[in-house]
Structure 1
Amino acid sequence: MTAWVRGRVQGVGFRWYTRAQALAIGGLLGCARNLRDGRVEVVAEGARERCERLLGWLRDGDTPGSVDGVTEIWDTPRGGYEDFAIR
Structure 2
Amino acid sequence: MTRICLQGFVSGKVQGVGFRQGTQVEAERLGLDGWVRNLDDGRVEVRVEGDQSSVKRLVAWLERGPPHARVDDLQLVERTPDGARGFFIAY
Matches of 1:13 and 1:61 in 2, distance apart?
9
SS state at 2:45 partner: strand
Higher fraction of helix? 1
Q: Percent identity?
A: 44
Higher fraction of strand? 2
Matches of 1:72 and 1:63 in 2, distance apart?
22
Scaled by the length of structure 2, the TM-score of the pair is: 0.84
**Misfit runs of 4+, over 3 Å:** 60-64
Aligned partners of 1:4 and 1:72 also within 8 Å: yes
Q: Which runs of 5+ in 1 are unaligned?
A: none
- After superposition, the Cα gap between the structure-2 partners of 1:23 and 1:64, relative to the gap in structure 1 and judged at 3 Å, is farther
SS state at 1:68 partner: strand
Count of residue pairs brought into register by the alignment:
85
1:82 alignment counterpart = 85
Kindly report the root-mean-square deviation, in angstroms, between the aligned alpha carbons of the 2 structures.
Answer: 1.4
